[in-house]
Structure 1
Amino acid sequence: MKPTIKDVAKHAGVSFKTVSRVINRESTVGQELQDKVWKSIKALNYQPNLSARVLRGAASSIGYIYDNPNSNYVIEMQRGILEECRRQDYELVIHPCDAKSPTLLDEIFGMVDRSRVGGLVLTPPMSEMPEVLSALSERNVRFVRILSGSEPPDDHSPCVFIDDRTAAYKITQYLIDLGHTEIAFLGGEEEHKSSSERLAGYQQALQENHLKVKKKLIIEGEYAFESGVKRTRQLLSLSPTPTAVFACNDEIAAGTLFAARLSGVDVPRDLSIVGFEDSPFSRQSWPNLTTAQQPNAEIARTATRLLISQIRHRKGDKPAESEGFYPQLIVRDSSCPPAGRRSDA
């Protein structure tokens, strides 16, 4: 016979309601009592019954909504969310969407109704779309947003915010400190706020160093390798050509590196390249890419923890608070001073 929750309660010398609260990781149970219950759960090899949770009307799964062409970003997000779901005995429903679809809201609500998820982890651009957030709030669907910003945009729901602007400022300042003055910027999709935030940081650094912001060096595009290749070819046709490129993510940066090589441009001697995210692209390219470290799996785990805290929130509990991440510059081999500022020039 498989052990039941009552067996665990008897073994631990507590009520079965206490065991249930511990399994559901409610904050009302003290640490000493939690340790006692988990010890009994392990001793009896008790497995919580997720189907029973569903029958009681309690959520047993959460949903992950995304629209992003960056496969590394999506994989890291999925990994982080799944790790936290497993730790807290939840299932994960993954649902890619087209953010530009006229039936986006119907699609999201259809998934929520079919899967009976307890809440959603939203990533850009859905996490930054007011119409989506308003509709979810009206339907009382819990959600946590992952978004770009230096602070929470509001107090409607907890979010995980990423300070892209400051990170982009530091990247640009780093290139300026190396001696670069002709610095190109390759952005991502305009519907992603990270694109505008990183552009703002880039422009701020140039302006504070009394360098002109040149429109011809700012080229919009997609967060994709092919987009990086195409736009770099455009940059290399300019006269004079830029001596450095700030690419809005590592996939774009890898595309820039590829296009430079096809054109016989030496990286970093003739062209310094900096990416963003610290994805596998940055470490597998040669030379390795200078980048800003954005711990996507950790960001996803944090968002999932905040969401589950919302789902399990009981009257009197302290509400979950937003948390911030601050990408840090990692200097590798794809950047160096421009010609004329090097000892070997």
Structure 2
Amino acid sequence: MKVTINDVAKLAGVSMKTVSRVINKEPSVRKRTYDTVMEAVTQLNYQPNLAARNLAGTSSFTVGLVYDNPNAYYVIDMQNGVLSRCKEEGYELVIHPCSSTDSNMEHDFKTMVKRSRLAGLVLTPPLSEQTNITDMLDDLGIHYVRVLSGRPTDDNQDTCIYVNDYKAAYEITSHLLSLGHLHIGFLCGDKEHKSTTERLAGYKAALTDHNITFNPEFIYDGNYSFESGVNGAKTLLANNNKLAITALLGGNDEMAAGALFAARLMGIGIPEQLSITGFEDSPFSRQTWPKLTTAHQANDVISQHAARLLFTKTRGIRNQDKEIITSFTPSLVVRESSGPKIP
């Protein structure tokens, strides 16, 4: 027979209301009571009915993850991070893709939030960077946490998990410069993503600090896709007699993998004639040959901490999680795709 909350209450010697308070992780429950109830939950292998909990009262036990990103690896990592925390907290997860350029996006977004009766949301770029979205959620009284590239310029900094794309791009560019590459092309991702401007700014800053003049001809404006990396590399390398590019920095690993593919088609040796680097350390970076030098960005860990921060907001300041990390800097991973400039 299915174990019920009444069975847990009898075994723990408490009321059903107390069991409910423990399962919902209300801050007023004493530790001794919490441990007694959780021991009964474990012994009976009790699984709360989340649908019933959502219907039973005003509290919701469902949170959402909203994204607008074509990179399946990114989406899966973000999903896994949030989901792992939801399981620990006893919440369900609704995953909702959006198109930030769709004229009906805001209406559809609002409809989804109301229909799903969400307790809160984790917003990923570029949706997390749009004030019309956060203003709408504020009006609806919905808790949210934003994953952002760089620090925000608004007053809601306590709702953010930051990714320091600027510093990571600075380090990748400095790595290429240390190998003797003075003419470095940059493959930009989607302009609506702040990560694009942050990574480009880090690239420019590294050039400046090494006394190298920025050349706008070394920049290709594309999007975060393999095809864009192919086209960007072909465009920049087609003029190589003029530009003398010896290294390419991809806006992400997909673009870098596309650039490597294009270079191969053009008969260019990697890294003997051209060094290529990516960003994010997705599986793309390890599926190419040679493997890509990149910046490791732990999206599953980032999203897990975003979910942890969200749950402190849905449960109040008394449940503040002191172990939450709110700032992440992708770290340089040197592999075979980058090498010294050969005279």
Give the TM-score, by structure 2 length: 0.93
Counterpart residue type for residue 273 of structure 1: I
Q: What are the superposed Cα offsets for residues 6-48 of structure 1, whole Å, 9 maximum, x if unpaired?
A: 4323323444444323312344445554333222101122121
1:68 is aligned to 2:63: no
- What is the CA distance between 1:84 and its match in structure 2? 1.9
Q: 1:330 aligns with which of 298, 311, 333?
A: 333
2:142 maps to 141
Q: 1:251 aligns with which of 229, 251, 254?
A: 254
2:9 maps to 9
- What is the CA distance between 1:49 and its match in structure 2? 2.2
Counterpart residue type for residue 301 of structure 1: Q
| Secondary structure at the counterpart of residue 246 of structure 1 | strand
- What is the CA distance between 1:98 and its match in structure 2? 1.1
Q: What are the superposed Cα offsets for residues 231-283 of structure 1, whole Å, 9 maximum, x if unpaired?
A: 10011112233111111100000001000000000011111111011100001
- Separation in structure 1 between the aligned mates of residue 280 and residue 32 of structure 2, nearest angstrom: 40
CA gap of 1:29–1:283, structure 2 versus 1, over 3 A, is: farther
| Secondary structure at the counterpart of residue 64 of structure 1 | strand
Checking the alignment, whether the CA contact within 8 Å between 2:65 and 2:93 is kept in structure 1 is yes
1:343 maps to none
| Secondary structure at the counterpart of residue 249 of structure 2 | strand
1:287 is aligned to 2:274: no
Q: 1:304 aligns with which of 280, 300, 307?
A: 307
Checking the alignment, whether the CA contact within 8 Å between 1:152 and 1:322 is kept in structure 2 is no
CA gap of 1:291–1:32, structure 2 versus 1, over 3 A, is: farther
CA gap of 1:119–1:39, structure 2 versus 1, over 3 A, is: same
- Separation in structure 2 between the aligned mates of residue 134 and residue 319 of structure 1, nearest angstrom: 26
Checking the alignment, whether the CA contact within 8 Å between 1:64 and 1:120 is kept in structure 2 is yes
Within-5 A mapping of 1:224-263: 224-238=225-239, 239-263=242-266
CA gap of 1:143–1:210, structure 2 versus 1, over 3 A, is: same
- What is the CA distance between 1:300 and its match in structure 2? 1.4
- Separation in structure 2 between the aligned mates of residue 215 and residue 27 of structure 1, nearest angstrom: 55
- Separation in structure 2 between the aligned mates of residue 15 and residue 100 of structure 1, nearest angstrom: 51
1:155 maps to 156
| Secondary structure at the counterpart of residue 124 of structure 1 | coil
> What percent of counterpart residues are identical?
49
Aligned length: 339
- What is the CA distance between 1:86 and its match in structure 2? 2.2
Within-5 A mapping of 1:165-204: 165-204=166-205
1:101 maps to 102
Moved more, 110-119 or 198-207: 110-119
| Greater per-residue helix proportion | 2
Q: What are the superposed Cα offsets for residues 150-195 of structure 1, whole Å, 9 maximum, x if unpaired?
A: 5785336521110100111111111111111001111111110000
1:222 maps to 223
Counterpart residue type for residue 297 of structure 1: D
Moved more, 280-289 or 37-46: 37-46
Q: What RMSD, in angstroms, separates the aligned Cα atoms of the two structures?
A: 2.0
Counterpart residue type for residue 279 of structure 2: F
- What is the CA distance between 1:57 and its match in structure 2? 2.3
CA gap of 1:58–1:230, structure 2 versus 1, over 3 A, is: same
Counterpart residue type for residue 227 of structure 2: E
* Gap regions ≥5 residues in structure 1: 341-345
CA gap of 1:120–1:291, structure 2 versus 1, over 3 A, is: same
CA gap of 1:59–1:297, structure 2 versus 1, over 3 A, is: same
2:132 maps to 131
- Separation in structure 2 between the aligned mates of residue 266 and residue 8 of structure 1, nearest angstrom: 66
Q: What are the superposed Cα offsets for residues 81-112 of structure 1, whole Å, 9 maximum, x if unpaired?
A: 22222222222211111101222111101111
